[in-house]
Amino acid sequence: MRYLKIKSDKIHPFLERLSTYGALYGPVKISEEFYDYRKIDDVKDVAFEYTRTVTPAKKYVIPTRQDMFEFDMDTNEYRETIGEVEPFVLFGLHACSIVGLRILDGVYLDEYPDKYYKVRRDAGIIIGLSCLPDEYCFCNLRRTDFVDIGFDLFLHELPDGYLVRVGSEQGHKIVDENQDLFEDVNNQDIQNFKKFERKRHEMFQYQGSFDNLRYMLELTEDHPLWDRESDKCLGCGNCTMTCPTCRCYDVQDIPDIDGVHGKRIRYWDSCQFRSHGLVAGGHNFRETKKDRFINRYVCKNAYFYPLGTAYCVGCGNCTHFCPANIDFLKNLMEIRGISEGVYEHSR
């Protein structure tokens, strides 16, 4: 891998240059407490210190609502509305978010490539950014706190700038075309990089492993936790909307007032909504809130085999943004039997 350094005073010029490769999006402080990914019009708005955003980066490759095609029932014809997607640059993605995108790639591109997803994914340049965990983060338990691939450039914080890893052909092109902004890495930079990584590891509240969690979940469907926690759940869907890997959507045909023309759209859906499991005839595959609650835990802890990791990347968003204060990690630890509330199962 190619390593370079960019000094602090070059970081804003670097962001300016990035915006010449496409519309620039990055983390911005939107209130006292919250950050979100937004379009960057002034590079000074980029919030390098952010930990999590209100909406995940998936919104740039899976819009919350998108048109699929228009139809005409008189002629039985339809017209694609997919269109061109302008190039864009996603700046500041943390490692777990990048793994999240790779998981979405597996779902949307591997077997039956989804053209709506692909056209956006192909248009995006990904610039990663190192981070320090807060009390909600457990990407270390998911092994998603560091990425080897899935980015064009990745910036690691140093006391006087960033150590840059180049991860793709596009990444090489960017540094080659902007050589005046970069310099070689020296011994002190390497020491500082190691120091930052050590500090980052030590800051995680939970150490250990979530290996085999999937099986623990499958074996504990009678755990009292499911009643206790699903009782508190409001079914709001915040946990899935803020999750970097949740990707369920619904499809609807919207007719024009003439009843002849119309369009098909798709939009984010949530397995936590009662309507999600509802099918023709009124049957619901997940009738109760408890069914839906358990489904999310099982789904997020299933293995994504191509990456050898779970569908959950350990970002902690679902806990942080849950209005009912349901703690996903603590519940998993209880299921795993590594925290209080270890129970005797009835099998």
Dist CA 239 CA 287 (whole Å): 19
Distances (CA, A) of 29 to 62, 83, 88, 336: 23, 32, 20, 36
Vertex 262, ends 258 and 265: CA angle to 5°?
150
Question: Which one of residues 99, 239, 333, 335 is an interface residue with ligand SF4 (CB under 6 A)?
Answer: 239
CB closer to ligand SF4 out of 130 and 245: 245
> Among 15-23, 69-77, 160-168, 243-251, which window interacts with ligand SF4 (CB under 6 A)?
243-251
Q: If 0-12 CB within 10 Å is exposed, 13-18 middle and 19+ buried, where does residue 251 land?
A: exposed
Pairing of strands 249-255, 182-183: unpaired
Q: Does the CA dihedral 63-64-65-69 come out positive or negative?
A: positive
Dist CA 136 CA 161 (whole Å): 27
Q: If 0-12 CB within 10 Å is exposed, 13-18 middle and 19+ buried, where does residue 325 land?
A: exposed
Question: Which one of residues 313, 332, 333, 335 is an interface residue with ligand SF4 (CB under 6 A)?
Answer: 313
- Element counts in the chain: helices (H) and strands (E): 12, 14
CB closer to ligand SF4 out of 10 and 292: 292
Q: How far is the CB of 243 from ligand SF4 (least distance, A)?
A: 3
Q: Does 238 bind ligand SF4 (CB under 6 A)?
A: yes
Question: Which one of residues 236, 248, 265, 278 is an interface residue with ligand SF4 (CB under 6 A)?
Answer: 236
CB closer to ligand SF4 out of 93 and 233: 233
CB closer to ligand SF4 out of 51 and 317: 317
Question: Which one of residues 25, 117, 182, 328 is an interface residue with ligand SF4 (CB under 6 A)?
Answer: 328
> Among 43-51, 66-74, 80-88, 238-246, which window interacts with ligand SF4 (CB under 6 A)?
238-246
> Among 59-67, 117-125, 250-258, 324-332, which window interacts with ligand SF4 (CB under 6 A)?
324-332
Dist CA 335 CA 219 (whole Å): 10
Q: Does 101 bind ligand SF4 (CB under 6 A)?
A: no
Q: Does the CA dihedral 267-30-165-300 come out positive or negative?
A: negative
Based on its alpha-carbon atoms, the radius of gyration of the chain, rounded to whole angstroms, reads 22
Spatial CA neighbour of 97 closest among 313, 321, 322: 313
Spatial CA neighbour of 98 closest among 65, 76, 132, 121: 121
CB closer to ligand SF4 out of 130 and 242: 242
CB closer to ligand SF4 out of 218 and 256: 218
Question: Which one of residues 97, 192, 245, 309 is an interface residue with ligand SF4 (CB under 6 A)?
Answer: 245
Q: How far is the CB of 103 from ligand SF4 (least distance, A)?
A: 9
Question: Which one of residues 90, 316, 333, 336 is an interface residue with ligand SF4 (CB under 6 A)?
Answer: 316
x-or-dash string of contact with ligand SF4, 255-294, rule CB under 6 A:
-----------------x----------------------
Q: Does 244 bind ligand SF4 (CB under 6 A)?
A: yes
Q: How far is the CB of 105 from ligand SF4 (least distance, A)?
A: 15
Spatial CA neighbour of 135 closest among 53, 206, 47: 206
Q: Does 89 bind ligand SF4 (CB under 6 A)?
A: no
Q: Does 323 bind ligand SF4 (CB under 6 A)?
A: yes
What pairs with residue 2 in β-bridges? Answer: 166
Please enumerate in sequence order all residues whose Cβ is within 8 A of that of 308, keeping only pairs 6 or more positions apart, or say none: none
> Among 166-174, 194-202, 249-257, 312-320, which window interacts with ligand SF4 (CB under 6 A)?
312-320
- The binding site for ligand SF4 (CB under 6 A) comprises 233-239, 242-245, 272, 300, 312-318, 322-324, 326, 328
